[in-house]
Structure 1
Amino acid sequence: MSDAAMTLTVVGCSGSTSGPDSPASSYLLQAPWQGRTYTVLLDCGPGAFGQLSRYVPPEQIDAVALSHLHPDHCLDLCAFSVAARYSPTAPWEPVDLWAPPHALERLGRAYDPMAGDDATDLGTVFTAHTWEPHQQLGPFTVTAARVAHPAPCWATRFETGGRSLVYSGDTGPSPALVDLARGADLLLCEAAFTDPAPGGEPNPPGLHLTGREAGRAAADAGVGRLVVTHVPPWHRPDEAARAAASAFDGPVEVATSGARWTL
């Protein structure tokens, strides 16, 4: 790594499902720690594990952080668990998993263990921790806040070396997100919805943000930079970014698979 306080790498950014240009939601956060690089895998949606080794050997992941347990944000941890047990470098050391309650049970049901295997055996791969308001992950001081989504979802703020990054997870308009993101250097924010046509049906409440709403959240929080993400394959990320820029005067960029920011 460089001398930057932290690095964000986009593994996958497609919303709701993997797409032709990107896996579903998954990001790497890295920072110097104890003479080496500490790596957090932030969400791991479909297709993400296959791309992960482009950026880091998966066995070097120090912690996994899940915003919520919808499949487009977590299901490739099943692939992670297979590699952790059966790849040439297996068995891997158990990885701390920070997530909503019952994460191992959710992943165990998705993994569908073979006869004689127990879903709770995922505990040999992951050491589960439930999100608290504050926790320490290596060099990262992490603050978590529940946001507006049908499944319990936590937005997270990662701080280290005087720099800060906030990840929205999935959310509708949420004062908790604005409070969490206040003054952050970078807001990685979902923009899954488009603005409804005049006279059209409004978007469902408490589910996702439009690009304009993501921009408004960035403006209200006074962040330094906005990166829009989680745009589904049936919408255009550049249009989401333009909508965000209509509400936020700072830099607005689009997450793409392989993109990297240093803070």
Structure 2
Amino acid sequence: MRLTVLGCSGSVSGPDSPASGYLLTGPDMTPTVVDFGPGVLGALQRYQDPGEVNIFLTHLHADHCLDMPGLLVWRRYHPNPPSGRAIVRGPSDASVRVGNASAEIGGECDDWSDVIDMRPWVEGETVSFGPGYTALARRMYHPPESYGLRLTTPAGRTLVYTGDTALCPAVFELARGADILLSEASWTHDPANRPPGIHLSGTEAGQIAAEAGVGELLLTHIPPWTAREDVIAEAKEQFSGPVHAVSPGEVIDI
């Protein structure tokens, strides 16, 4: 399985990156985009027909889902519209939240069931997204209904994506023994500069990687106002394995 970084800017899109979005491709699987924040639809077009992908949404903060209304336009009005419906897995209120953003009139809700087959995540449930490919969803510690994902290939390789979360037991459990941990790291580790219970620091991302015994730590979701070098340095103080902050267009083979 291959991970292509479409966007990795945290909380908002940045000057050099869309917000959160990651393309998964592999033999015998439908290409799948994990999160669909502002700018992701445009970046996706460099690699894949947007009408031919399925979507995993970890949560419904704007920086993780707000290009979804654009995807609905693509699927409905493209001169050569895709056949069938895209499978979207996400929080239980995704149809309403995205439908509100896509509605023609304020206060109404766009019914996206004409082009989307919506399937809510279930805590602790493992689902298939291709022959031998599985995704395990676990609830994370973040204000809205939010999930981290453990993605496993037919060969048994594992990619864990934290989504957005603060420290919680579930994120350690989800990451246990993963080959690659793609972890948000939105802050430096200074309680005076960050509210509690929302995001991870570079220090905390490194602590998760070390305690969970992962093979490699990839940092993401670093906002434009947070210094990448500082977050990387914090993570390296905690985790002795490979540490790297991802960039748009980067490709990682799982």
Match of 1:25 in 2: 20
CA distance, structure 2, for counterparts of residue 10 and residue 239 of structure 1: 21
Give unmatched runs, 5+ long, in structure 2. none
Given the alignment, which residue of 129, 132, 142 partners 1:149? 142
Match of 2:152 in 1: 159
1:136-156: CA deviations, max 9, x gaps?
111321111001101110000
Match of 1:126 in 2: 116
Match of 1:78 in 2: 69
CA distance, structure 2, for counterparts of residue 11 and residue 156 of structure 1: 18
Given the alignment, which residue of 242, 249, 254 partners 1:258? 249
Q: Is the 8 A contact 2:102 2:110 kept in 1?
A: no
Moved over 3 A (4+): none
Give unmatched runs, 5+ long, in structure 1. 1-5
**3-state SS in 1 of match to 2:182:** strand
Q: Is the 8 A contact 2:3 2:252 kept in 1?
A: yes
Q: Describe how 1:1-263 pairs up with structure 2 within 5 A.
A: 6-33=1-28, 37-61=29-53, 63-113=54-104, 119-132=109-122, 133-139=125-131, 140-160=133-153, 161-196=155-190, 201=192, 203-263=194-254
Q: Normalising to structure 1: TM-score of the pair?
A: 0.91
CA distance, structure 1, for counterparts of residue 237 and residue 121 of structure 2: 34
1:71-107: CA deviations, max 9, x gaps?
1000101111101111122154211110011101100
Q: 1:168: how far off? A: 0.4
CA distance, structure 1, for counterparts of residue 168 and residue 34 of structure 2: 20
Q: 1:194: how far off? A: 1.3
Q: 1:180: how far off? A: 0.7
1:117-174: CA deviations, max 9, x gaps?
x734311121111112211111321111001101110000010121110110000012
**3-state SS in 2 of match to 1:69:** coil
Q: State the number of aligned residues.
A: 249
Cα root mean square deviation, aligned: 1.5
**3-state SS in 2 of match to 1:172:** coil
Q: Normalising to structure 2: TM-score of the pair?
A: 0.94
Q: Is the 8 A contact 1:155 1:168 kept in 2?
A: yes
**3-state SS in 1 of match to 2:17:** coil
CA distance, structure 2, for counterparts of residue 104 and residue 39 of structure 1: 21
What percent identity do the matched residue pairs reach? 44
CA distance, structure 2, for counterparts of residue 138 and residue 51 of structure 1: 23
Match of 1:3 in 2: none
**3-state SS in 1 of match to 2:35:** strand
CA distance, structure 2, for counterparts of residue 20 and residue 92 of structure 1: 35
Q: Is the 8 A contact 1:85 1:92 kept in 2?
A: no
